[in-house]
Structure 1
Amino acid sequence: MADLLFYCSLILIWVMLLYHMFLMQGGYLHFRSFEKPIEKWSEKMVDVPTVSIFIPAHNEAVVIEQTLRAMSRLHYPKDKLEVIVINDNSSDDTGIIASKFAEKFPFIRVIETVEPNKGKGKSSALNSALADSESEIVVVYDADNTPERMAVWYLVMGLVNDPKAAATVGKFRVINADETWLTRFINIETICFQWMAQGGRWKWFNIATIPGTNFAIRRSVLEELGGWDVKALAEDTELTIRVYNMGYHIRFFPKAITWEQEPENLKVWWKQRTRWARGNQYVVLKFLTQFMTLKRKSIIFDLFYFFFTYFLFFFGVILSNGLFITNLFFDINLTVGNIAIVLWILAFLLFLGEVMITLSIEKTEMNRKNFFYVILMYFTYSQMWIVLVVWSLFLEIKRVFTGQEVQWYKTERFAKKTK
């Protein structure tokens, strides 16, 4: 029985490892080809649509100035652009700083959230801005983002040239990657599992997931969907599934780049990632219960991927590790010890190879220092995720059974690094 459970857990683990290798291959192919249509696409960027950029901001005084400075430099016709800072119940100088930019730049304005949306989190703040704007395209940036000058132009370009796309998403890079060992790990994670995995899913399946920042979406689609789900901690993933179920697709266009700040200590990282994990678990449970009514087969496939990631994969890792450790102290008739060691070594080598190949697409990231960080990452950062997902699942189950109200955790910011 122990052997059977162990083999089942290994199957779960290796299915995920091989699938990610498949995605990395697709991401690399997309990386080599995504810029080819830009010259032709540019021909349609003449009478461009109006754009509203939403920046939800709750106590963002540390970072909002640098973000708005980047917004003031964006390449987009200013008579077609507005930047809306959504000051959501801030108790610091966020509103004061944003108002100074609004006085200087006519296309920047500040709105204050009011009841019942006041202080309820990102989704509620975004819904407030949606009701207070009229532009054809909505672009979302977090308050710690520094988009490159052409980022919004490229996001809109994707929509102008793809009528069936409801949204265009870009890629994001870590602005404070060199600050701590943690931000170095997150930088590697971002390139591999946000940039390349997103590219692979788009290349092989024409599927992309809306991130929390650096995306553009048609207002008509948002209004038809009724805006953002205020109960969803992972409002981006939840919105993604509803968009696909309407019959649209989401285009991944990594030419649109933003730089964002990541947690510099474990406390902030744990709270932020717990929110992410709980949010995705909420989405999986929400839509699996609606499985029979979902219209789009592609998003059903993606839904099962999230279910596999946040439930089955981590269950397999915990089960295999638990059986192996238990067998060291008690005889549970586990006879696959040598096989386990071989498969573990192969899994490590596969992880190392995938990550290093992925880092090679960014000119500054393929170096000796990152090679050693990738090795260390496997034994530390990756294992931390296992504990975090288990804890998140416990909290989400507890919330469901106790009827607790969803509480939004706003990620703590650090002194902004310029880019």
Structure 2
Amino acid sequence: MSALGDSVKLPCGLVFPNRIVKAAMAEMLGGFANAPTPSLLKVYGQWGKGNWGAVLTGNVQVDVNHLGTPFDPALASGYTDPDTNKDLVETWRQYANACQEHGPPSIVQLCHPGRQSLRFAGRRGVFASPIAPSAIPLMMGESYAQQWMSWFVFPPPREMTQADIDLVTRQFVDAARLMADAGFSGVELHGAHGYLIDQFLNPKSNTRTDVYGGSATNRAKFVLDILHQIRAVVPSTFCIGIKFNSADHNSASFEHTMTQISLIAEAGIDFIEISGGTYEDPKMFDAGQTQPQPQKSARTAAREAFFLEFASAVRARYPTLILMLTGGFRTRAGAEYALSQNACDLIGIGRPAAIDPFFPRLFLDDSLTEEEARLTLKRVSVPFWAKLIPLSAVGAGWESSYYTRQIQRIAKGLRTIVPL
């Protein structure tokens, strides 16, 4: 029997019945109200039946004024308690029930986009600035055309004040309290892909000289404060995870990244999901390749996970951490290889879940051969007009939106379409 069918117990006591986790993906089903909709509940009801070890939701933004996309679910105001906010709790309880009524625990991915908030997303207004640790604009290319397009799509951010930092910290904590009261099994802080937490952690986007910048330890203060404050107000059995960007082993930031992981581990994290990329360098969108991405070291066909080497390095330093590895898994052999190398405990599955909500059966059914236990996904073709837009992430974004459309087809009860 495959090790993929083994259960995993997190430090908080939550048990995943198997190792295959539906990873977070953009659904764009929050509607104009930016709240859980019947369509969102329907698609998660399908994933809930899929025999996943756990189901991670797509981004739930902690501030409706700052959204990654116009239709992200988000918190429109502060949260007090279940008695004061009965309607709010009931809305999110329906979401939790849809995810979990068929068994798998569900974890809500909490996010703030920071400077990666689209100009036309959120209720702050199209001319209002997004916020970031430092006033460093997002640049998706070096040419004048690319710089202008970057400015038009992503307005230059303003540097956060202490009051801003305190507010966003409270928003993360309030969101976690609401999810716990609504019945979700946990939350995952989105600390990767160039969103706000990642912006604080990264010296390229955080040039502050106060207690939030200047060193790897100081840059981790923002997320550590959020972690400590959430842990203080949710049940001890409530899971808190984090999505974390990998680092190049040869880069100067590698040891800084390891220092930050050590601090996060000491704060009592339940799991760390290893991913990678930002809007400026969208590694997280490369999962549409039919073949594994080229790596700096030699690869075998089984080593299909994009961030396997980094996960192995984290495991070597911190052997007791529960690690989830997401990005590139398409075959049972590849997933089993990652487990056999002790690189991770959990296998994150993204785009295959958008094609087949019951994907785990391919990996867990021992009667299937190795050739049958796979889902090949070719790269999505980018239309010619999209290639004319001078932004580095357009192609990757087009591919990501293809899978978002497949999620929306699941919500409508339609068959999904495998890219040809």
- Same topology, TM > 0.5: no
Higher percent of residues as helix? 1
